[in-house]
Chain A
């Protein structure tokens, strides 16, 4: 995926960071268990957030088990026992979304990256087929994200919100998938606004490259001929609304073990990441 949804470490307590690492490392282990050793290279922070926020609706009382990473020279690698259904879902989504991203790279990227994407797609395509077998409804949602996005980009009348809506709606369905009705509605709202935030952040991050290569970029279409500062200012306003709305919905969810970490991500981490991208872009002007 994109890796934009991260914690803001300066505001996190050590024991909270250990919990966060435990979710991240357990997801890595699940990828290896379900799809093989190489699948762990697809691991990212966005899906760690998804697993954590879904797991937060249940009671997670098990302490982290202190283990060592078999792939990183014995670095500490805490593990969270139990709750395999959440990690399995997260692992399936990781490979499904990675497969869609590679399909996108094969059509959009430069020659070398296209070739690399084709090579990587061999194993990822196989893993994706396996994930589709176990999670057919989830695979259908991921396919719909891609088709709706394409439809929005190719529509005769461009609508900025419609383009963002395709990804945001998909994210809301993925986050709330198979949850009980009372929490599904709130999770849909968190998912929609975090999804919209990710889509717009990615558009902002890729803005200069897309304009240079004449590729579709919703911000470039929305603000034709605008300067980098104007695009950054517009994007920032949209991103702040997304964070605000996601936080409002999140605040109504029941508290759980990971609430402080999720609070850190939504209240601090998202803004920190978007500020980093905006600073990089506007420093080029």
Chain B
């Protein structure tokens, strides 16, 4: 994979907020909604996947740096095992990711475990399990923005997201509405001694 910092166009010293801002800009630029019915949609989506992978890689590495020492204190898991699971997820190897997750003993299932488990469930279309796992991760680490974002993402998907085509039932302003309003306004003005539209 290319240098993740180069992919997002940020320096290695960039703060978390700067990286997130750069990610949001690029995600908007290559969002599939902008490329609907466009023959370049595939390229846009490949680019978006690259940006997402770069973002994940940067934050995974930063998190590991912050938490270095605590994983080795807790035992075998949570360090390299989660890295491998995250790699499997990025490559779409969901069955292997599930198998690795199942191998983690229950006492060692951290918030990260539940978050990654939620990701695997989401990819399989098991949305109820995904939500339960994300909720558990967010409960275990309430300050973790990534887990909160996952919950918010599910909440957004669970509500009506403007599926309907624009309504043609008359809501809003038509040309007739504008014309009749101008005529009425002109009449009112003329009653008060002025003229809004001089030609009528």
B164 close to A241 (CB less than 8 A): no
Cβ of A45 within 8 Å of any chain B Cβ, yes or no, is: no
A247 and B164 alpha carbons, distance in the complex (Å): 12
**Total contacting residues, chain A, CB less than 8 A:** 31
Query: B157 touching A241 by the CB < 8 A rule?
Result: yes
When the two chains form their complex, are residues A222 and B164 in contact, meaning their CB atoms are under 8 A apart? no
| Docked-complex contact B163 and A251, CB < 8 angstroms | no
Q: Interface residues, chain B, CB within 8 Å of chain A? A: 32, 36-37, 41, 121, 124-129, 154, 157-161, 163-165
Q: How far is the CA of A271 from the CA of B161 in the complex (A)?
A: 11
A-B contact pairs, 6 of them (CB 8 A): A161-B121, A161-B124, A161-B125, A161-B127, A252-B41, A267-B164
Interfacial chain B residues near A236, Cβ < 8 Å: 158
Most chain-A CB neighbours within 10 Å: which of B36, B41, B126, B163?
B163
* Residues of chain A contacted by B124 (CB below 8 angstroms): 161, 165
Interface pair A241/B158, CB less than 8 Å apart:
yes
Please report whether the interface of chain B is mostly helix, strand, loop or mixed according to DSSP: loop
> Closest approach, in angstroms, between the C-beta of A266 and any C-beta of chain B?
8
The contact of B157 among A11, A159, A244, by CB within 8 Å, is A244
Binding site for B on A (CB under 8 A): 11, 159-162, 164-165, 168, 192-193, 196, 222, 236-238, 240-245, 247-248, 251-252, 255, 263-264, 267-268, 271
Q: Are A161 and B165 touching (Cβ within 8 A)?
A: no
Q: Which residues of A contact B32 (CB under 8 A)?
A: 248, 251-252
- Residue on B nearest A272 in the bound complex, by CB: B164
**Inter-chain pairs besides A267-B163, A271-B163, 15 sampled, C-beta below 8 Å:** A11-B165, A159-B129, A161-B121, A165-B125, A165-B126, A222-B128, A238-B127, A240-B158, A240-B159, A241-B158, A242-B127, A244-B161, A267-B164, A268-B164, A271-B160
Residues in B neighbouring A159, C-beta threshold 8 A: 129
The 10 A-B pairs at the shortest CB distance, nearest first, are namely A161-B126, A237-B158, A267-B163, A241-B157, A241-B127, A160-B128, A161-B129, A244-B157, A161-B128, A240-B158
Query: B125 contacts which of A192, A243, A267 (Cβ < 8 Å)?
Result: A192
Number of A-B contacts (CB under 8 A): 61
CB distance A193 to B165 under 8 Å?
no
Q: How far is the CA of A243 from the CA of B127 in the complex (A)?
A: 12
Tell me the smallest distance from the CB of A262 to a CB of chain B, in Å.
13
Min CB–CB distance B33 → chain A (angstroms):
9
Q: Is B125's CB under 8 angstroms from A245's CB? A: yes
Q: Give chain B residues whose Cβ lies under 8 Å from the Cβ of A263.
A: 165
Q: Which of B125, B129, B157, B165 contacts A268 (CB 8 A)?
A: B165
CB distance from B59 to the nearest CB of A (A): 25
Q: How far is the CB of B32 from chain A (nearest CB, A)?
A: 7
Residues of B within 8 A of A248 (CB): 32
A241 to B156 alpha-carbon distance, docked (Å): 9
CB-CB < 8 A to A264: which residues of B? Answer: 165
Residue of B nearest to A260 (CB): B165
- A255 surroundings in chain B (CB, below 8 A): 37
Residues of B within 8 A of A192 (CB): 125
Residues of B contacting A245 in the complex (Cβ-Cβ under 8 angstroms)? 125, 157
- Chain A residues closer than 8 Å to B37, beta-carbon distance: 255
Q: Which residues of the other chain, B, contact A241 by a CB distance below 8 angstroms?
A: 127, 154, 157-158
Whole-angstrom distance between the alpha carbons of A168 and B41 in the complex? Answer: 27
Given known pairs A251-B36, A252-B32, A252-B41, the reply for A240 and B161 (CB within 8 Å) is yes
Q: How far is the CA of A236 from the CA of B127 in the complex (A)?
A: 13
**Bound: A285/B126 CA distance, A:** 29
Residues of chain A within 8 A (CB-CB) of B164 are: 11, 267-268, 271
A165 to B126, CA, bound (A): 7
A240–B127 Cα distance when bound, in Å, is 11
Measured CA separation A241–B129 after assembly (Å): 13
B164 to chain A: closest CB distance in Å? 6
A247 to B160, CA, bound (A): 13
CB–CB A168/B125 < 8 A: yes
